Amino acid sequence: MTSAGARRVGDLAVGAVALGAMNLAGEGRPARAEAVRTIHAALEAGVRLIDVADVYGLHGGDAHHGEALVAEALASWPGEAWVATKGGVRRTARDPAAEDWVHQGDPAYLRRACEASLAALGVEAIDLYFLHAVDARVPIEESVGALAALRREGKVRRLGVSNVSAAELARARREAPIVAVQNEASPFVAPEPALLEACEAADLAFLAYAPLGGWRAGRIAHEAPLRRAADALGATPHEVALAWLLGTSPSLVAVAGATKPENARSSARAARLRLSAELRAALDAAYRPAEG
């Protein structure tokens, strides 16, 4: 089975791997010039979708750092690329050790957030705009309704929802033409089956964030099943993990972070890595045993 081939986000044909910009903007981020080189390396390797959010920065006072960085990189990129960003989460402190990440989904806040993202990105319309998280105090219908209004006004072109359940997706889709979901998925975190099935049935993209496990990513290089597959393929365990995850569903796009050009190129290579039925079965048994 192969993970290669284009995936779709609405009417956009994108690669199977997108670049996640969070690590380029937050704690431990590289120097700005190195971050721009990393974005360019991903684009040169065939990545066409860059995922960012208004809260990607060092702390609450560093909002829109990631968006401005992406805008800078794209200003010197001659080819085609699309940007996904998000609104609906607010960071409340300037000290990263003390801050809270607060969900805020009221329509007035989402409008302000979108307009600030437009300014940071330097564009008239955002290619793909996500509700970053559901605010428990605000019905999702109101939050998504606000995004639908922004789309009607031409400020965003396509809409998505992030960190949602299958039931919340269904409610969101009654309010607006949703084209994508962004939830966590990795060898260590399985996507909600009903949510993934809903995406496949409705031809929605499932953007998998933290596809190497997020804070667990350091384990990838030491996981025996991934190491065995990597040795057999002449690849890295990280590439194998992404290739295996991409085989989960034709709707899935892996949003892989990077802080160095070589890491961005490695993630892009994963989209072209072929896993035999035997290797895939071994990884399925190791990471999705309940589904066997």
In a domain, residue 113? The reply is yes
Read off the DSSP letter of residue 203.
T
Predicted pLDDT at 2: 35
In a domain, residue 264? The reply is yes
- Per DSSP bridges, beta strands 12-14 and 89-91 are unpaired
DSSP codes joined into one string, 10-76: TTEEE-SEEEE-HHHHSTTPPPHHHHHHHHHHHHHTT--EEE--TT-SSSGGGTTHHHHHHHHHHHT
Token duo for residue 221: 């290089």
In a domain, residue 6? The reply is no
Predicted pLDDT at 58: 87
pLDDT reading at 1 higher than 50: no
Instruction: Say which residues have a Cβ less than 8 Å from residue 278's Cβ, sequence separation at least 6.
Output: none
Q: How far apart are CA 271 and CA 253, in angstroms?
A: 10
Q: How far apart are CA 266 and CA 258, in angstroms?
A: 9
Residue 128: enclosing H or E segment and its boundaries?
strand 128-131
163: alpha, beta or left? (left if phi > 0; alpha if psi -120 to 50): left
Band of residue 59 on the pLDDT scale cut at 50, 70, 90? confident
Q: How far apart are CA 195 and CA 202, in angstroms?
A: 11
Residue 287 is among the residues annotated as catalytic for this protein: no
Task: Please provide residue 271's backbone torsions phi and psi, each rounded to the nearest 5 degrees.
Answer: -70, -20
- Which one from 56, 129, 209, 287 is the annotated catalytic residue? 56
> With pLDDT > 70 as the criterion, what percentage of the chain qualifies?
97
What confidence tens digit (pLDDT) does each residue in 179-214 have? 999 999 999 999 999 999 999 999 999 999 999 999
Token duo for residue 186: 């990795």
How many domains are there within the chain?
1
Q: How far apart are CA 224 and CA 287, in angstroms?
A: 12
Residue 156 sits in a domain whose CATH number is 3.20.20.100
In a domain, residue 275? The reply is yes
Band of residue 290 on the pLDDT scale cut at 50, 70, 90? confident
Q: Mean of the pLDDT values across residues 98-114? A: 93
Q: Mean of the pLDDT values across residues 82-94? A: 92
> With pLDDT > 90 as the criterion, what percentage of the chain qualifies?
90
pLDDT reading at 284 higher than 50: yes
Domain holding 170, by residue range, is 13-291
Predicted pLDDT at 83: 98
In a domain, residue 7? The reply is no
Predicted pLDDT at 5: 57
Asked if 21 and 52 touch (Cβ cutoff 8 Å), the reply is yes
Q: Mean of the pLDDT values across residues 113-139? A: 98
Residue 124 CB burial class (10 angstroms; 0-12, 13-18, ≥19)? exposed
In a domain, residue 8? The reply is no
Predicted pLDDT at 4: 47
Q: Where are the alpha helices (DSSP H) in the chain?
A: 22-25, 32-44, 65-75, 107-121, 140-152, 166-173, 193-202, 224-233, 237-246, 261-270, 277-287
